[in-house]
Amino acid sequence: MQKRKLGKSGLEVSALGLGCMGMSYGYGPAADRQEMISLIRSAVERGVTFFDTAEVYGPFTNEELVGEALAPFRGKGKVVIATKFGFGIKPDGTRYGLNSRPEHIKEVAEASLKRLRVDTIDLFYQHRVDPDVPIEDVAGAVRDLIREGKVRHFGLSEAGAGTIRRAHAVCPVAAVQSEYSLWTRDPEPEILPLCGELGIGFVPWSPLGQGFLTGKIDAKTKFDSSDFRATFPRFTPEARRNNRAVVELLNVIAKRKKATPAQIALAWLLNQKPWIVPIPGTRKPARLDENLGAVNVELTPDDLHEIDSAFSKLTVQGARLPEEILVLSGR
């Protein structure tokens, strides 16, 4: 597995990470725990060193899963675990909005350390910007945790350019995590140039468009009521039907490259910047193998130009997220 550094932070990780959320939250009922532990450990064996979770996934259960799965690799320098704070969550798992008050950040860090079974959190993201707490106070709280040895690196998720710059002035931001893929290009105008300027790594979540870019979802696909996509504007039957043109384009390139649509989508992201590290998620060993194969797909400058030119002529139907979530994302 190839390695990449997240900007100037010095944090080196595998070129592709593994997003673990969907194993226990967000995409229907939780998968079998032992099967997911085996999948995570299989990813380590295949060279994946970067694993993404959050306290809100479950809540709590995904961090516990990742902690148990990666326990054999602790202290060996084999894995980097990223987790997130920023939501208010009661002990019973009920969410009550955003909460990035400094004292709460420190409480979350202590709880996450226990669930992850580690002494230090490698990368600690603010999951969503809290409009009620100055970002300088958030960055200061994480800076304190870094000084205490409880956190190694600070990250931001779905933050705007101004917020990133202000946070970085207080505590260096190692990585920004936002949705980015061939059909979600929002970070390109401002966020990616800013990351390049400040030496910040970029971690695209949903690099396969919540699974749509794999080509395995069509207008007839049925989603469980607990699957986020059941409420996403891009995943209504009509939107899926109209957005099929996106997958058809990927299929054309994939056939020529003897690859799959998912591999082309991931290879395209890897070619955008050397400090971009996508974190596709999966519950299936075969999909893990497929995704990791993307690092071996070579896209020439002509290929990349062809893909960008073709996509510029397509119109993706539907917002990437429901309005209430977009508000939380500051978009």
Which residues are tagged catalytic? 57
- In terms of Cα–Cα distance, which of 86, 59, 82 is closest to 328? 86
CA separation for the pair 184, 84 (Å, rounded): 22
For the record, the structure tokens of 175 come out as 């990585």
Helix or strand or coil: residue 216? coil
HSE, side-chain direction, 13 A CA sphere, residue 41: 15
Separation between Cα atoms, residue 144 and residue 139, nearest integer Å? 9
Distance from C-alpha of 51 to C-alpha of 269, rounded to nearest angstrom: 18
Lookup: tokens for 225: 């009521």
Q: How many Å apart are CA 80 and CA 74, to the nearest integer? A: 9
Burial 293-318 (b: 16+ CB within 10 A, else e): bbbebebeeebeebbeeebeeeebbb
- Evaluate whether 288 touches 23 at the Cβ level (below 8 Å): no
| Phi, psi values for residue 262, rounded to 5° | -60, -40
Identity of the amino acid at 68 = E
User: Please, is 201 exposed, middle or buried when counting C-beta atoms within 10 Å of its C-beta (0-12, 13-18, 19+)?
Assistant: buried
State the Cα–Cα distance between residues 329 and 86, nearest whole angstrom: 12
Q: Give all strands (DSSP E) within 260-316, no chain letters.
A: none
For residue 56, the one-letter residue type is: V
